[in-house]
Structure 1
Amino acid sequence: MQTTFTADQLEQPDVAHSEGIIRKCVHCGFCTATCPTYVTLGNELDSPRGRIYLIKEMLENDRPADEKVVTHIDRCLSCLACMTTCPSGVNYMHLVDHARAHIEKTYERPFADRMIRKILSLTLPYPARFRASIQLARLGRPFAGILDGIKPLKPLAAMLRLAPASLPAKSAVNTPGVRKAAGERVKRVALLTGCAQSVLDPKINEATVRLLTRLGVEVVIPEGEGCCGALTHHMGQEDAALDFARRNVDVWTKAIAEGRLDAVVITASGCGTTIKDYGHMLRLDPAYADKAAKVSALAKDVTEFVADLELPAPRDVGPIIVAYHSACSMQHGQKVVRQPKALLSKAGFAVRDVPEGHLCCGSAGTYNILQPQIASQLKARKVKNIESVMPNVIATGNIGCMTQIGSGTKIPVLHTVELLDWAFGGEKPAVLG
Structure 2
Amino acid sequence: MQTQLADFIRNTADGDEADAILRKCVHCGFCTATCPTYQLLGDELDGPRGRIYLMKQMFEGGSVTRSTQLHLDRCLTCRSCETTCPSGVQYGRLVEIGRQHVEQTVPRPWRQQLLRRVLASVLPNGALFVPAMRLGQLVRPFLPRRLRDKVPPRQRLLEWPSSSAQPVAAGATAKPLEARRMLLLAGCVQPAMLPNINIATARVLHALGIETLIEPEAGCCGAIRLHLGYRDEALDDVRRNIDAWWPHVESGVEAIVINASGCGATIKEYGHLLRNDPAYAEKAQRITDLARDVVEVLGPFETELAGLARRRGVHTVAYHPPCTLQHGQQIRGAVEHLLATLGVEVRLPVDSHLCCGSAGTYSITQPSMSYTLRDRKVQNLEALEPQMIVSGNVGCIAHLQSGTSMPVAHWVELVEHLIYG
Give TM-score scaled by structure 2 length.
0.91
1:352–1:389 CA contact under 8 A, matched in 2: yes
Counterpart residue type for residue 56 of structure 1 = K
The Cα RMSD (Å) is 2.3
The worse-fitting range, judged by mean Cα deviation, of 237-246 and 182-191 is 182-191
Alignment match, 1:18: 18
Listed one character per residue, the Cα deviations across residues 321-374 of structure 1 (whole Å, up to 9, x for unaligned) are: 111110000100011112111111111111111111011000000000000000
- C-alpha separation in 2, matches of 1:170 and 1:194: 17
Show the counterpart of 2:110: 111
2:281 to 289, 292, 307: 289
Distance (Å, rounded) in 2 between the aligned partners of 1:282 and 1:173 = 34
- Mapping of residues 317-396 of structure 1, within 5 Å: 317-318=312-313, 320-396=315-391
Q: Could you tell me which residue of structure 1 aligns to residue 171 of structure 2?
A: none
Identity of matched residues, %:
44
Distance 1:318 1:167 in 2: 24
Cα pair distance change 1:282/1:62, threshold 3 Å:
farther
8 Å CA contact 1:222–1:251 kept in 2: the answer is yes
Residue aligning to 1:43: 43
Q: Equivalent residue for 1:81?
A: 80
Residue 101 (structure 1) shift:
1.4
CA distance in 2, matches of 1:45, 1:419: 41
Give the whole-Å Cα distance in 1 for the aligned partners of 2:217 and 2:414.
29
Read off the aligned partner of 2:18 and give its amino acid letter: S
Q: Tell me the residue number matched to 1:202.
A: 195
User: 1:318 Cα shift?
Assistant: 4.2
Answer yes or no: is the 8 Å Cα contact 2:317–2:345 preserved in 1.
yes
Question: How far 1:99 moved relative to its partner?
Answer: 1.2
Give yes or no for the alignment of 1:162 onto 2:156.
Answer: no
- Structure 2 gap segments, 5+ residues each: 167-173
Gaps of 5+ in 1: 146-157, 428-433
Deviation of the 1:304 alpha carbon: 1.1
- SS state at 1:383 partner: helix
Residue 122 of structure 1: aligned partner? 121
Among 267, 290, 305, the residue aligned to 2:259:
267
Structure 1 pair 254–62 and aligned structure 2 pair: CA distance change class (3 A): farther
Q: Distance in 2 between matches of 1:105 and 1:327?
A: 31
User: Could you give the per-residue CA deviations for residues 19-48 of structure 1, whole angstroms, max 9, x where no partner exists?
Assistant: 110110000000000000001111000000
Counterpart Cα distance in 2 of 1:194 and 1:9: 34
Say which SS state the counterpart of residue 10 (structure 1) adopts.
Answer: coil
C-alpha deviation, 1:10, in angstroms: 2.6
SS of the residue 1:348 aligns to: coil
Contact 2:259 2:293 in 1 (8 A): yes
C-alpha spacing 1:376/1:184, structure 2 compared with 1 (3 Å): closer
Is the contact made by 2:255 and 2:292 (CA closer than 8 Å) also made in structure 1? yes
Q: Distance in 1 between matches of 2:201 and 2:295?
A: 10
Q: CA deviation at 1:94?
A: 0.5
Return the alpha-carbon distance in structure 1 between the equivalents of residues 70 and 144 of structure 2: 24
Q: Distance in 1 between matches of 2:21 and 2:102?
A: 18
SS of corresponding position for 1:300:
strand
Counterpart secondary structure, 2:10: helix
Aligned pair partner of 1:229 in 207, 215, 222: 222
Q: Aligned partners of 1:340 and 1:365: how far apart in 2?
A: 21
Partners of 1:206 and 1:37 in 2: how far apart?
A: 35
Q: Tell me if 1:256 matches 2:249.
A: yes
Q: Distance in 2 between matches of 1:209 and 1:9?
A: 45
Equivalences for residues 49-68 of structure 1 within 5 A = 49-61=49-61, 65-68=64-67
1:339–1:4 distance in 2 versus 1, CA, 3 Å: same
1:251 alignment partner AA: A
Paired residue secondary structure (2:256)? strand
Compute the TM-score of the two structures, normalised by the length of structure 1: 0.89
Q: Does 1:211 align with 2:208?
A: no
Q: How many residues align?
A: 406
Q: Would the alpha carbon gap of residues 251 and 214 (structure 1) be closer, same or farther in structure 2, given more than 3 Å must change?
A: same
1:106 and 1:170 map into 2 onto residues whose CA distance is 46
